[in-house]
Amino acid sequence: MTDSCKNPTLRGAVAIGCIVTAGIVWSLAYAQRSLRSTNVMTTVLFDHGLSAIEPQAPAGWTNEWCGSCHRAAFDQWHNSKHAVAGANENFEAQFLEATGGRAQWCLNCHAPANHGASNHASMEPKDIDNLFVARPDWLTSGVDCLSCHVRDSQVLGLNVTSSGQAAHPMREAPELGTSEFCGGCHQFAHKPRQFPDGFRGRLQQASLIELIEQNRASGDTLRCHDCHLPAGNHTMPGGYDRELVLGALDLTLVASWEPALNAIQLVVTVTAQGVGHRVPGGEHFFRYLSIRTALHDTSGKSVTPRKQALSASGDTRSARSLVLGELPHVEEIRKRLGDFERGTESGVEPTPDTRLNPNETRKFVYLVPLAQKDVGKSLQARTTLWYHVLDPAEGERFHLPTEELSWELHRVTSEIVAGTKVAQERKISRKTFYSK
C-alpha cells in the first residue's frame, strides 16, 4: 500500500472530490433535463409595434408554399389589405414622412417579419429611403401567413391535426382565436424617440379596449373574428371594405313644418349597428364620418334660412334644436389627436371624441327658419352620410389621390310643403351607395 493510500487526510480529500464531481455532473444533467422540459417558446401575440416578429421559418416556407395546401385561405389573404399593408402608397407616404414616420414601430405592424428585431421601436431603420425601391419580400408580403402562423419553425393552428403534423411541425395556439391576437397590432399608442421602448400618451387606436368595454356593458362575447374573419375568411374585411362599413351604419331623416315658428324642423339620426367598437374605428385621426344636410326647392336651388331670430311665445323647440343660419349644414363625427393624445404636452385637455358608441343612435334636431318667399313652396330636405378613409387635408399633405378617400354611404330625401297648418304627407326616398 502506498503512502498516499495510508494517509487518511488524503483519502478523505479524494473522497470529497469524487462526491463534489459527481454532484456537479448530476446537477448539470438535471439542469439540462429541466431546461428541455421548460423550453421557452416564442410568444404568439404581437406586442403593439414594440418589436418585429421572428418566425424562424425553415428555408422554403413561403406564403406560396402555404397556399399549395391552403389555397382558399391563400387566395383570400392575397386579395386582402393585410397582404399590401407594407407596400401600399398610403403607408409608404406616411412612413417616409419626416415628422410622424420613419420609425421601426411602423414596420413592426405593417410588415411584422421585417429584419429590424434588434432595433428599438422608435429607431429609424437602416437604408430607409431605398426600402420602397428595393421592395424586399418581407415588405411586399405585409402581414402574411408566416407572420401570424409560424413561430419557432412550427406552424400555429387552433387545432393540431394528424394531416397537418404529417406536412410540417405544428403547435396548438389558442391565442389565434382571441381578440387579443388582433389587438397586438390594432391597438397601440405613440412611441416617441425619447421613450423608445414604451407607450406614451393616449392610445392612437383602441379597438380592443372598446370591444372589451362593449362586451362588459352588453353581456355579449363578441370577438374581432366575428366581423373581420367571418367563417375563417382571410380577406379580413375592415375599414376599407365598403360593404362592411355600409352595413354598420344607418341614416334617417324626418322633415316637418312648424307653423308656430314659421320654420321647417329636420330630425336626422345616425346609428352604429352590429359593431363591437366605436365608429369609425381604426386610427382615430385618419377616419371620420360627416353628415351633410341641405334644403332645396323644386328647381334644385338651395334655400337660404331667414336671418331673424325665432320668436314663438312659449315654444321651447328652438331651445332644444340647432337653428341653422346657413345651408348645407355639416356635422363631423370623429376623434382628433392633440398634444394630450400624443403625449407631447402635460397639463393639456384631451380633444373631444365624438365617434359613435356601439349600437348608439344619435339624433340631430335642426330648425330652418324660412323667408316669406319660401313659405308655401314644395321643398326637398336631403341628408347624406359620408365616410372618410383619410382626412382630405392629410391626403393632400401626403400627395395621395383625394377623390378615393371619401365615400357617400347613405342618402335620404324628404319632400314637404311649407306653410300649411295641417300635417303633410312626406315622400321619403332612400339610396345607399355600394360598389365592389
158 with 177: CB under 8 angstroms? yes
Using the predicted structure, report yes or no on whether residue 365 has a pLDDT greater than 60.
yes
User: For the ranges 98-107, 210-219, 368-377, which has the lowest average pLDDT?
Assistant: 98-107
Query: Per-residue pLDDT averaged across 61-83, rounded?
Result: 97
Average pLDDT over residues 106-114: 95
Residue 164 near residue 170 (C-beta atoms within 8 A): yes
- Of 11-15, 150-154, 184-188, minimum mean pLDDT range: 11-15
Report d(CA 102, CA 94) in Å as an integer: 8
Residue of 331 and 345 predicted with greater confidence: 331
Structure confidence at residue 153 as a pLDDT band (50, 70, 90): very high
Q: Which triple of cell numbers denotes residue 262? A: 314659421
Which pLDDT score is estimated for 424?
47
Note the pLDDT tens digit of each residue in 374-407.
998 999 999 999 999 988 888 888 888 877 889 9
10 Å CB burial of residue 4 (0-12, 13-18, 19+) is exposed
pLDDT at position 221, please? 94
- DSSP H helices, 79-144, are 89-95, 104-110, 131-134, 137-140
Task: Look at residues 206, 233, 262, 185 and name the one whose alpha carbon lies nearest to residue 70.
Answer: 233
pLDDT confidence tier of residue 347, bands split at 50, 70 and 90: confident
Tally of CA atoms within 13 A in the half-sphere of 217 that contains its CB: 12
**H or E element, residue 258:** strand 249-258
User: Is residue 55 scored above 50 in pLDDT?
Assistant: yes
Domain spanning 242-432, CATH architecture: Sandwich (2.60)
CATH 2.60.40.2360 maps onto the chain at: 242-432
The whole-number average pLDDT for the span 15-36 is 59
Of the listed ranges 47-51, 95-99, 192-196, the least confidently predicted one is 192-196
Beta strands in 74-198 (DSSP E): 150-151, 154-157, 170-172, 187-190
Look at residue 390 in the predicted model and tell me its pLDDT: 87
CA-closest candidate to residue 78, choices 234, 244, 230: 234
Grid cell digits, residue 366: 335642426
Chain segment 212-259, per-residue pLDDT in tens? 999 999 999 999 999 999 999 999 999 999 999 999 999 999 999 999
pLDDT tens digits for 175-221?
Answer: 999 999 999 999 988 665 555 555 556 788 889 999 999 999 999 99
